[in-house]
Amino acid sequence: MNSKNSEDDPNEPEISEVQNQENAIFVRDIQDTKNTTPYYDIARLISLKVRRFRMSYENLQYLFMLVRQRCDLKPRARKGSRLIEIPTEAEFEKFFSVIRNQKHRLIFLMLDGSGLRVSELCNLEVHRIDFATNLVTVKQGKGSKDRVTVIGNRLREKLEIYLADKNLRYLFESSRGSKFGPRSIQLLCAHYRKKAGIKSRMVPHCFRHRYLSRLVSKNMSTHKVMQVAGHTSPEMTERYLHINLAQYRLEFIQALDGGSGENPQ
């Protein structure tokens, strides 16, 4: 790339002058057809150009920046953070009370006692559970990241009993020997929720929320909870703080009623 281009945009990746000209034509073509050409046709056009010029990932990023500028495309506004809502303790108790199938019961106990996402539970191999230390290794979890989470002694004992007479690769397998899929567990959750007469929203991910909220309620540091949760920022973990507001309710009320100044009554 010549010095002029470098001075104009120091972040521009190294692309030849001929390639830049081709890119300009390419951007124009996309701009002209953006409202009429199906997405797969645009993807095919992009793929041809990427292969022809042997573009790197950085080249492609720069190209899409040009497309956004020429087409005057603005990023979608980020969604505001929502408070996490989970069923009440009474509803969780009702849910477990109607499960008679021991494997199904253990599936939800594992979600509740490990903080695993449903897809992570489906992919959990037995050898990833260290029964000596109560540690569970998650391989290629969300974002293709590995992490380690912790289970309690009572859950570990239930798992040991469940596995005593079995030779499984995955912790939970169907009668055909294949691992459970997320959809199967979602359907089981919906079935038992209906059977228990629970009106509020209850999905497998609620059990992960419950696990993490219990850790936060015991005043465990945000950093520690982040590690077992696999969160990438403290803000994600701090969303659980409001769930445990109830345990401090009396302190707030006492502070409000016992404060100085005129009594609002």
CATH fold group of domain 89-249: hpI Integrase; Chain A (1.10.443)
Terminal alpha carbon distance of the chain: 76
| pLDDT, tens digit, 9 for 90 and up, residues 54-107 | 888 888 888 888 888 888 887 776 665 666 778 899 999 999 999 999 999 999
Q: Tell me the range of 115-119, 225-229, 248-252 where mean pLDDT is highest.
A: 115-119
Question: Would you tell me the crossing angle of helices 102-114 and 182-196 to the nearest 10 degrees?
Answer: 100
SS3 123: coil
Spot the catalytic one: 142, 179, 195, 239.
142
Residue 119, judged by CB atoms within 10 A of its CB (0-12, 13-18, 19+), counts as middle
Q: Is 205 a catalytic residue?
A: yes
Query: What pLDDT, on the 0 to 100 scale, is given for residue 102?
Result: 94
Q: Is 224 a catalytic residue?
A: no
C-alpha triplet 157, 163, 169: angle, nearest 5°: 130
Q: Please name the amino acid found at residue 159.
A: L
Query: What pLDDT, on the 0 to 100 scale, is given for residue 26?
Result: 55
User: What are the sequence ranges of the domains in the chain?
Assistant: 3-70, 89-249
Query: What pLDDT, on the 0 to 100 scale, is given for residue 230?
Result: 81
Give the dihedral sign, CA 162/147/185/210.
positive
Q: Which residues pair with 130 in a beta bridge?
A: 135
* Greater model confidence, 54 or 233: 54
Q: Is 40 a catalytic residue?
A: no
SS3 234: helix
Spot the catalytic one: 94, 158, 208, 210.
208
- What are phi and psi for residue 99, nearest 5 degrees? -90, 115
8 A C-beta contact, residue 115 and residue 228: yes
Spot the catalytic one: 94, 117, 193, 210.
117
Spot the catalytic one: 104, 105, 128, 205.
205
Q: Is 39 a catalytic residue?
A: no
- Mean pLDDT lowest for which of 35-44, 202-211, 218-227? 35-44
Q: Is 240 a catalytic residue?
A: yes
DSSP state of 218: T
Return the half-sphere exposure (C-beta side, CA atoms, 13 A cut-off) of residue 134: 13
8 A C-beta contact, residue 212 and residue 225: yes
pLDDT at 3 over 50: no
Distance CA 126, CA 136 (A): 9
Query: What pLDDT, on the 0 to 100 scale, is given for residue 225?
Result: 83
